[in-house]
Amino acid sequence: MRSVQSAEAICDARQVRDVITGFIDETTRRGVPPEPLRAKLTGGGTARTDKKGWYISVDRSAAIGEDGNYYLLTVPGGLKERITGVRLAPSRPTPARVKQQAGQQNDDLDDYLTRALARRINEASRIADDG
């Protein structure tokens, strides 16, 4: 039973990795630059992080880093972390976890990231138009 679960986990990890790679390739092709990621602190407020990437959830609680990793952006911390910043550790990106974080249980992961990319492109063009 464990070997079947392990094989499924490996397939899921490969699927997610392929989708993330495609997302990064497409954002780069469309000229959407990564931005400094900010973490939401459990003690309130936000803090700068040591990573750049693209937010993929509307509430900015999850992101794809320019390094190809998946990051959950709600981290423990308070005033100290607001001042010093935080180091993010990658999270294991299973399709179910990414969709759960995004509140999109019934969507295909690739479709979800395609919509996230469309939001990022719209945000970037709106900023360019305002600037």
64 versus 4: which is more confidently predicted?
64
98 versus 120: which is more confidently predicted?
120
**What is the pTM (predicted TM-score) of this model?**
0.75
pLDDT value of position 87: 96
Select from 15, 113, 118 the least CA-distant residue to 56.
Answer: 113
pLDDT value of position 4: 46
Instruction: Determine the 3-state secondary structure of 55 from DSSP.
Output: strand
**Is the backbone of residue 68 left (phi > 0), alpha (psi -120 to 50) or beta?**
left
d(CA 116, CA 73): 16
| Residue 106 token pair | 């019934």
pLDDT value of position 66: 95
Q: What is the pLDDT of residues 83-103, one digit of tens each?
A: 999 999 998 876 665 655 555
Q: Provide the residue type at 55 as one letter.
A: Y
**Is the backbone of residue 12 left (phi > 0), alpha (psi -120 to 50) or beta?**
alpha
